[in-house]
Amino acid sequence: MTRSDLVELFAHMEWADALVWCEVTRQPALGSDPFVRESLYHIHLVQFAYLTGWTGGTPEPDASDEFASLGELRAWGRSYYPAARAWLDGLGEEELHRRDPVLWPEFVEEAIGQHPVPIPLADMVIQVATHSTQHRAQINRRIRELGGDPPFIDYVAWAWMGKPAASWTE
C-alpha cells in the first residue's frame, strides 16, 4: 500500500461520510435518531483518536454530550479531513512500513484475547477507513429502517463516478 493509495482511500472515506451526513441533515428524523447520532459521533471519534495517536497527542475523552446540535457534531467531524490530509501529505513512503506499537494496547488485548503485536502504520490507516465503512453501513441500514433511501457510498460507486471530491452541502 502506498501513500498515494491511502490518500485515495481517505478521499473516498470523506466523500462517503459527506453523503451520509447530507442525508442525515435532509431528514430531521435521522438527525434526532439516537443510533444515527451516536454512530456518527463514534465514526469521527475513532478517526480523530487514531490521528491524534499518530501525531503524538493524547486522544480526547468522550465528549459526545458537548455537541449541542447536530450541526456542531457535523462541523467537528468534517474538521477531521483537513488535518488528516495534512498528516498524510507529510507522510513518507518508508514510514508506512514502520511497525508502530499498538495504540491502546490494553483495549486491543481485551478485544482480541492476546497481546497485540506491532503492525505497519499503513495497516492502521486502512483500519480507520474500514472502521468508518462499517459504521456508515450501519447508519445506512438505519436510514432504510426509518423509511429513507440511503446513499450509495460503495468505493466502486465513487470510482464509477470519477472519484469526485466530497461535497458537504446538501
Dist. CA 124–CA 145, nearest whole Å: 32
Residue 65 falls inside a structural domain:
yes
- The residue segments making up the domain with residue 122 are 3-160
Dist. CA 43–CA 136, nearest whole Å: 8
Q: For the purposes of burial, counting CB atoms within 10 Å of the CB of 13, is it exposed (0-12), middle (13-18) or buried (19 or more)?
A: buried
Triad 77, 78, 79: Cα angle to 5°: 90
**Alpha carbon of residue 113 to chain centroid:** 25
Residue 29 falls inside a structural domain:
yes
Residue 168 falls inside a structural domain:
no
One pLDDT digit (tens) per residue for the chain, 170 residues: 899 999 999 999 999 999 999 999 998 899 899 999 999 999 999 999 999 989 887 766 666 667 888 999 999 999 999 999 999 999 998 999 988 777 888 888 999 999 999 899 999 999 999 999 999 999 999 999 999 999 999 999 999 999 999 999 86
Supply the pLDDT for residue 104: 81
Residue 35 falls inside a structural domain:
yes
Residue 104 falls inside a structural domain:
yes
Residue 82 falls inside a structural domain:
yes
CATH number at residue 128: 1.20.120.450
Triad 102, 104, 106: Cα angle to 5°: 105
Supply the pLDDT for residue 62: 62
Number of domains in the chain: 1
Residue 86 falls inside a structural domain:
yes
Residue 20 falls inside a structural domain:
yes
The position carrying cell 442525515 is: 24
